[in-house]
């Protein structure tokens, strides 16, 4: 569980990032989860666009994705969701919280 200060730091780091993927009418698929998991392993912090065609509201969709990724949902701002998961790789520069 992230504290409010940790969330604020992660939100500020994510503010300059571009979304790595979009969740659209196909919804949450196994390929989507695998791709997002790979992105989290490489970056630790990712931003995803949640398109209205996905059907659900942004908060519910982000919580479902976070559960499947075993990641922390940092924030949902409009139709953008930010996820954090500490990488297990040693060659990644880890975010210090």
State the CATH number of the domain containing residue 43.
Answer: 3.30.110.60
Token readout for 94 is 């880890």
Which residues constitute the domain of residue 9? Answer: 4-84
CA distances from 64 to 31, 35, 87 (A): 15, 15, 20
CA neighbor of 75 nearest in space, from 45, 35, 44 = 45
CA angle at 22 for the pair 21 and 28, rounded to the nearest 5°: 105
Alpha helices (H) along the chain: 4-14, 30-43, 58-69
Instruction: Look at residue 64 in the predicted model and tell me its pLDDT.
Output: 94
Going by the DSSP 8-state scheme, the letter that residue 54 receives in this structure is G
Is 28 a domain residue? yes
* Mean pLDDT for the chain overall: 93
pLDDT digits (tens, 9 = 90+) for 15-56: 999 999 999 988 899 999 999 999 999 999 999 999 998 877
Judge whether 42 lies within some domain.
Answer: yes
Query: How many domains, in total, are found in the chain?
Result: 1
With respect to residue 90, please indicate whether it lies within any of the assigned structural domains.
no
């Amino acid at each position: 569980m992230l504290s409010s200060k940790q969330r604020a730091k992660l939100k500020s780091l994510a503010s300059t990032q571009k979304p790595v993927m979009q969740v659209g009418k196909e919804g949450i698929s196994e390929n989507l989860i695998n791709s997002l998991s790979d992105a989290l392993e490489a970056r630790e912090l990712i931003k995803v666009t949640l398109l209205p065609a996905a059907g659900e509201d942004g908060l519910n969709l982000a919580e479902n994705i976070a559960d499947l990724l075993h990641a922390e949902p940092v924030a949902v701002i409009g139709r953008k969701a930010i996820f954090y998961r500490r990488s297990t790789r040693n060659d990644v520069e880890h975010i210090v919280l």
